[in-house]
Amino acid sequence: MAKPISLISIIVPVYNETESIDWFHSELLKVLYKLTQYMFEVIYVNDGSKDDSLTKIMQLSGGKNCNVQVVDLSRNFGKEAALSAGIATATGDALISLDADGQYPVELIPDFIEKWRGGAEIVIGIRASNQGEGFVKRYGSKLFYPAFNKLTGVELIPRSTDFRLIDRIVADEFNKLTENNRITRGLIDWLGFRHDFIEFDAKPRQFGTPTYTFKKLVQLAVDTFTSLSAVPLFFAGYTGLFFMAISFVLGGFILIEQVILNDPWHIHFTGTAMLGVLITFLVGAILSAQGLIGMYVARVLSESQRRPLYIVRKTIKL
């Protein structure tokens, strides 16, 4: 069932994008002006840019169906914080987030809105290809998503991006989340709701150089694991169980072959070998104990994040 539309928010985090702002805003308005049946607010979140990005943004103007707002953060807090600031500021019935570097095709915005009108509460942009994508990023992404989903049990959509639309109810629930170290797309996926997808071919940056370096990409992967899953806390425990299992098998073999059967294969295990098996067992026991501590730390982490126990889409009286 189609829903009435009054206002759609466009959220654009900006960090050192002086060269691209005017071009991006012009391309965005070309699309928005054609959608005369909607009202738009474009929210630029200046994430502590060190160039003239803020000055450029302050010179932008909207139009007959579009207003422009600026959220100027006091320093660079990172893209995830900038997106959160934009979502908290937005007042639209639907919110669309995208970057200002030109890689996300703004001409797909009407498709996102149409899928939302069709009933999707979250519409996710899926990157089918990325022109100029490096070897490490391309294959790192292919390895990361299957590994994360299998190890953690948390479902992340492979090659999903921050180019997405969320319904007002999703934004309201997202604003209730309290953790500071957050991965926006992961938390939105965690919220649930009805998803739909749009595939697109990412364009090369129109200006400047990527701000996501290899170091930042690795940090993003680590943050994703630690913010959305407690599996890293249990890693020591799993390792300890593995060592204990190995030492138990070796110890049992030595006991049977050397002591009970009186060394029929003439292996002649030395005292040093037996001591090595014992040390392996003790190391495994220590690591397993750390894993047990990790289980309790995971519970503390879960409680400190204070995520809602459940989320209600709506209540229906019959």
CB crowding 229-242: b at 16 or more within 10 Å, else e: bbbebbebbebbbe
Q: Which residue has the higher pLDDT, 304 or 244?
A: 244
Q: Is the pLDDT of residue 21 over 70?
A: yes
Distance, CA of 313 to CA of 173 (rounded, Å): 10
Pick from 6-10, 55-59, 179-183, 231-235: least confident: 231-235
Q: Are residues 252 and 143 in the same domain?
A: no
Q: Are residues 111 and 33 in the same domain?
A: yes
Q: Are residues 28 and 173 in the same domain?
A: yes
Q: Are residues 108 and 189 in the same domain?
A: yes
Q: Are residues 54 and 196 in the same domain?
A: yes
For residue 157, is it within any domain? Answer: yes
The neighbour count for residue 144, using CB atoms within 10 Å, is 17
Q: Are residues 243 and 178 in the same domain?
A: no
Question: How many domains does the chain contain in total?
Answer: 2
Angle between helices 168-176 and 184-191 (to 10 degrees): 110
| Domain with 78 in it | 8-228
Q: Are residues 189 and 297 in the same domain?
A: no
Q: Are residues 190 and 262 in the same domain?
A: no
Per-residue pLDDT tens over the stretch 51-103: 888 888 888 887 788 888 888 888 888 888 889 889 988 989 999 999 888 88
For residue 318, is it within any domain? Answer: no
Which pTM was predicted?
A: 0.70
